Amino acid sequence: MKLILLGCGTVNLSLLEILLERRLDLSARHGFRPKIVAAVDSRGAAVSPNGLDIEELIRVKKSKGSVAQTGSSGRVGMNALDVISTVDADIVVEAIPTNLKTGEPSLSYVKRAMETGKHVVTANKGPLALTADLLPGLANRKELFFRFSGAVGGGTPILDLAARCSLGDRIVGFQGVFNGTTNYILSELEAGLTFEAALKAAKERGYTETDPLIDIRGLDSASKLVILSNAVFDTRMKLENVKVKGIQGVTRARVAHAATRGRVIRLIASGGNAPAVAPMEIPRESPLAVNSAMNVVTFELEHSGSITISGKGAGGRETAGALLRDILTIHAKLGGFNASRDETAPRVATVV
C-alpha cells in the first residue's frame, strides 16, 4: 500500500517511527506492508515511487530540518499540491497544523487528493469543522474512503465508539472534555501551578495547537464538538454554530474555591440542541472529571443509558496511533489481510 505523508511534524514523525517499530507485526498480523512514496514538509518533499527508506527519512528530518534534504529523493521547493497531483498513491495521510479560520491549506490538499482518486486519512479538525459535509460528500461521490477518527480524542477512538453505538441504538446527546491542553492546565491549577507555568508545560509536552489560544479560548474543543455532532446526529453543523467560552477567565482562586466544595472545573463540550463549550464546575467524582491531558465523553443512548470512554486525547504518538488505526481500516476494507466483515460500515464514517 502506497502512502503520501503531508506534514512531517510530531504526528507524522511518530507515525513513521511506529511503522518502523511495528514493521514485522503489521506485516504478519495485517498483511500491511506500507511504502512511503512521498513525504512533504514546508520546505519541500522526498519522493520515491519504490518507497522511501523510513529510517533515513526520520534521520534527515530530525538532523537537517526538512525531508527535501533526503539524498537523491529530495525535492527542494516541491509543494504538497504538486506531490498529490503527480505521485501515484493509495492514501494521502494529512497531519499539518490545524487552521480554524479557513481550514487551509489542509482543505485544498484533501480536495486535491480526492479529485485525484486517493483515499484520505487526516487528524485535521479545521476543514471538517468549517465545511460540514463538504469533504465527506466529495469522498462519497468519488467512492473513496475518508477517515478522521484522530480528529476527536486523538488516540481514544471516540468517533469509532459513536459509530458503533449508533448502529444498534440512538445517541440522543453527549457531554465531554475534548481538549488536552485546557484539561492539563485546569488540573495543574488545582495542583497550585500558575496559568502561565501550566501552559508552558502543556506546550513542552506537545499538547497545544500551533497557536495555543485556539486551545485556551475553547475553539479546538468546539471544532471537535462539531465533528462529533455531525457524525452522531447527521447534521451539517459548522464551528460558527457553537456557543464557545474558553478557560481564559479561570483563576487559581476559583479552582481552589471549587475544590473546597468537592468540585473541579472542566471545559465541557455539550452536544445536542444547544451545542456549547464552557468551563463548568462538576463533582470531583463525575466521570467527566478526568485529569491531566485526558479526554472523555459520555454518550446518552436512547435505550442503553450512559456510555463513557476516556483516554489520551493529545500528543504525537497518540494521534499517530489514530492515523494508523484509520490506515489499517482502509487497508482491510480494500481487501487487505484480516479484512473486516462489517459490511454495514459506511465508507466515509469511522466504523472499524
**Dihedral of alpha carbons 26, 82, 317, 65, sign:** positive
Binding mask 49-68 for ligand HSE (x = CB under 6 A): --------------------
Q: Which of 146, 195, 207, 299 lies at the binding interface for ligand HSE (CB under 6 A)? A: 207
Please give the C-alpha separations between residue 128 and each of 79, 125, 146, 152, 350, in angstroms, as whole numbers.
Answer: 22, 6, 11, 11, 14
Mark residues 165-194: x for contact with ligand HSE by CB under 6 A, - for none.
Answer: --------------xxx-------------
Which residues have C-beta within 8 Å of that of residue 10, sequence separation ≥ 6? 206, 316
Between 148 and 207, name the residue whose CB sits nearer to ligand HSE.
Answer: 207
| CA separation for the pair 124, 100 (Å, rounded) | 10
Q: Does 220 bind ligand HSE (CB under 6 A)?
A: yes
Question: Which residue in 7, 13, 220 sits closest to 122, CA to CA?
Answer: 7
Name residues whose C-beta falls within 8 Å of residue 134's C-beta, 6 or more positions apart in sequence.
Answer: 127
Which C-beta is closer to ligand HSE: that of 15 or that of 138? 15
Active site residue 125: no
The residue (of 119 and 224) whose beta carbon lies closer to ligand HSE is 224
149 to each of 52, 250, 297, how far by Cα in Å? 26, 30, 14
Rounded-to-5 percentages of helix, strand, coil across the chain: 45, 20, 35
DSSP state of 271: E
The binding track of 297-336 with respect to ligand HSE, each residue x by CB under 6 A or -, is ----------------xx----------------------
Active-site entry in 224, 238, 243, 245:
224
- Give the nearest distance from C-beta 205 to ligand HSE in angstroms: 10
Choice from 94, 188, 190, 209 touching ligand HSE (CB under 6 A): 209
Binding site for ligand HSE (CB under 6 A): 154, 179-181, 207-209, 215, 220, 313-314
